Amino acid sequence: MSEFGNWLASNWYEAGTLLLHAALLVTVIWYVRKNVSLKMASLRESEHQSDPVQHEPLTLGEADLGAAIRAENSSRPKGPNPLRRLTHWLSTPMGS
């Protein structure tokens, strides 16, 4: 036991960090499992409450897909890209 005590005395910071990381990992795993189980329970409950009619998956034909892309492109604002404007603004020197 004295070897472990000596090691712990010389490496207390690393041992504490390892213990803290292990505790955080366990906490994150617990939290994720809890949320997943709650979501699964709510999905099961909503599945039982919904009507038993099976719905077909939605599919888009080529014409529908083209129309959707054109509508998306037409709804975009015209002019310079906002990201390019931001990078240009950041690269200019600050005035006094």
Distance, in Å, from the CA atom of 25 to the CA atom of 57, rounded to the nearest integer, reads 39
User: Do 8 and 15 contact (CB within 8 A), yes or no?
Assistant: yes
Query: pLDDT per residue over 39-68, tens digit each?
Result: 887 777 776 666 555 656 656 566 677 777
CA–CA–CA angle 44, 46, 47 (5° rounding): 60
CA–CA–CA angle 92, 95, 96 (5° rounding): 160
Does the predicted TM-score (pTM) go above 0.85? Answer: no
Any idea where the domains of the chain sit in the sequence? 1-49
